[in-house]
């Protein structure tokens, strides 16, 4: 019986196209059942056209269904890929423009920070609905989550649906390793590595070729390149001894050191507000692809299969063993980070499922930063689960970048303003003002 793959938020057309290109490039998956869901009927129509065009380009013949009814989409699913963005571009603008008036700099705003907290709070109600529907309609299905804030979303799902099979998937570790290998001119396929931490702030703990540690080659490359030293994660690596697995723009938001100082922003060439332009580019790309579909029946595909969701599906269906980095709830996997919150660890895939690997202790300096990262993650999740708006403010108060920049009064005022601006995208109990 062919597996059913459901994409929730399929109107994120470029990502849907990339995922389907990878999935349908596997001969064993070329006739699967694909169900597309989105609440925007025009975007759903575009996603359906993309699916057919991608299938033709891949020479595949999947069964394709599209619906705005989420329960209908999930009925009988084997794999559910979540790529929703609640509030879309307009909510992203609010998450950047309002904090900027307080003097708070952000770059991406989707992980922790004030932007990540409010992105999580407006995503949680939809996640809870997806989890509830899956428990009723496809309780054995795998939920493969791409939606940010990853650590918050995976942690929240553990609270509201602890039996649901959830993997949080992000390509940051893969592309970090590809980039590192390019820096020292070593083929990626020749290396082995071991990475762990939290999503967007994991650490390259081991990086070798044929048993040779490759970090000394990176050290020499950095020593001879002054411009390379003007990047946040290179700066962090030089001070901490382990390379972080997300871009410099992302990494700058998770620590208190860089974004509050104009001279550091200049020194490290940090692109403040970067995600606003990325979001605008995504809108333009949607329009471009929609126009392209009016003139063609096929779309070119990249069959490199670098995204993790297609690899998860292929391994679980065929038994091919792979190791990926996945986000799962910590249950003794990283022993110097708290249990019950999401961590990112090497995970074995095979016919029997996904098996997170025990890492043990992280280096103490890495664990200390991860614990700071997990403070706003845990409090934002508890704010939603406990319906406690005071914990929203607490999450912002312990966030490294926010706390380094604003006073506590400013943080509370900012939370009040963002709460009012997002309105009914937030859970009703969290819209209440909190008196001091």
Tokens of 397: 């108060």
Backbone angles phi and psi of 86, in degrees to 5 = -75, 125
User: What is the CATH class of 1-168+231-436?
Assistant: alpha beta
Task: Tell me which DSSP letter residue 325 carries.
Answer: E
Residue with the two structure tokens 């603008």: 93
Task: Consult the annotation and say whether 170 binds a ligand.
Answer: yes
Other CB atoms within a 10 A radius of the CB of residue 434 amount to 15
Q: Is 401 annotated as a binding residue?
A: no
Q: Is 144 exposed, middle or buried (0-12, 13-18, 19+ CB in 10 A)?
A: buried
Q: How far is CA 342 from CA 168, 198, 373, in A?
A: 9, 7, 11
| Structure tokens belonging to residue 213 | 């540690």
148 among annotated binding-site residues: yes
For the chain, the first-to-last Cα distance in angstroms comes to: 59
Place of tokens 């490759």: 214
The pTM assigned to this predicted structure is: 0.96
User: For position 34, what pLDDT does the model report?
Assistant: 97
* 195 φ/ψ angles, rounded to the nearest 5 degrees: -135, 145
Residue 412: HSE in the Cβ half-sphere, 13 Å Cα cutoff: 10
Q: Mind listing the pLDDT tens digit of every residue in the chain (436 residues)?
A: 799 999 999 988 778 888 999 999 999 999 999 999 999 999 999 999 989 988 998 899 999 999 999 999 999 999 999 999 999 999 999 999 999 999 999 999 999 999 999 999 999 999 999 999 999 999 999 999 999 999 999 999 999 999 999 999 999 999 999 999 999 999 999 999 999 999 999 999 999 999 999 999 999 999 999 999 999 999 999 999 999 999 999 999 999 999 999 999 999 999 999 998 888 888 888 788 777 777 766 667 665 557 899 999 999 999 999 999 999 999 999 999 999 999 999 999 999 999 999 999 999 999 999 999 999 999 999 999 999 999 999 999 999 999 999 999 999 999 999 999 999 999 999 999 898 8
Per-residue model confidence (pLDDT) at position 263: 96
Q: What is the DSSP letter of 188?
A: G
Given 171, 250, 355, 422, the catalytic residue: 171
Indicate the domain borders of the chain: 1-168+231-436
Asked if residues 343 and 334 have their Cβ atoms less than 8 Å apart, the reply is yes
Concerning whether 250 is annotated as a catalytic residue, the answer is: no
According to the model, what pLDDT value does residue 11 have? 85
User: Could you tell me which of 120, 116, 100, 97 has the C-alpha nearest to residue 108?
Assistant: 116
């Amino acid at each position: 019986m062919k597996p059913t793959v459901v994409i929730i938020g399929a109107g994120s057309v470029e990502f849907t196209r990339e995922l389907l290109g990878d999935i349908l490039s596997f001969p064993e998956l070329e006739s699967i059942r694909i169900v597309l869901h989105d609440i925007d009927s025009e975007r759903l129509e575009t996603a359906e056209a993309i699916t057919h065009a991608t299938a033709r380009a891949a020479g595949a013949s999947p069964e394709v269904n599209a619906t705005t009814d989420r329960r209908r989409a999930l009925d009988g699913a084997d794999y559910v890929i979540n790529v929703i963005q609640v509030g879309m571009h307009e909510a992203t603008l609010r998450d950047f423009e309002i904090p900027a008036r307080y003097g708070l700099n952000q770059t991406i705003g989707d992980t922790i920070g004030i932007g990540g907290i409010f992105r999580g709070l407006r995503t949680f109600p939809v996640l809870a609905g997806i989890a509830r529907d899956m428990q009723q309609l496809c309780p054995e299905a795998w939920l493969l989550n791409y939606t940010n804030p990853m650590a918050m979303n995976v942690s929240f799902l553990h609270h509201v649906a602890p039996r649901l099979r959830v993997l949080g998937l992000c390509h940051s570790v893969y592309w970090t390793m590809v980039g590192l290998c390019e820096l020292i001119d070593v083929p990626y396929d020749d290396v082995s590595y071991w990475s762990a931490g939290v999503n967007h702030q994991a650490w390259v703990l081991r990086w070798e070729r044929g048993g040779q540690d490759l970090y000394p080659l990176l050290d020499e490359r950095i020593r001879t390149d002054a411009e390379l030293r003007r990047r946040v994660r290179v700066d962090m690596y030089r001070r901490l001894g382990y390379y972080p697995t997300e871009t410099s723009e992302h990494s700058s938001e998770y620590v208190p050191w860089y974004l509050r100082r104009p001279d550091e922003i200049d020194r490290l060439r940090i692109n403040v507000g970067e995600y606003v332009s990325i979001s605008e580019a995504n809108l333009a790309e949607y329009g471009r692809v929609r126009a392209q579909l009016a003139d063609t029946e096929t779309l070119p595909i990249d069959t490199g299969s670098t995204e993790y969701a297609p690899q998860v599906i292929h391994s679980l269906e065929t038994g091919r063993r792979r190791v990926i980095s996945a986000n799962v709830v910590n249950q003794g996997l990283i022993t110097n980070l708290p249990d019950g919150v999401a961590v990112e660890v090497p995970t074995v895939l095979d016919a029997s499922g996904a098996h997170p690997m025990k890492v043990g202790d992280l280096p103490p300096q890495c664990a200390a930063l991860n614990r700071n990262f997990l403070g706003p993650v845990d409090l934002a999740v508890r704010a939603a689960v406990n319906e406690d708006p005071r914990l929203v403010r607490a999450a912002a108060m312990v966030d490294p970048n926010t706390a380094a920049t604003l006073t506590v009064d400013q943080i509370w005022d900012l939370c009040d303003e963002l709460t009012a601006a997002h309105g009914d995208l937030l859970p009703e109990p969290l819209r209440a003002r909190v008196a001091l």
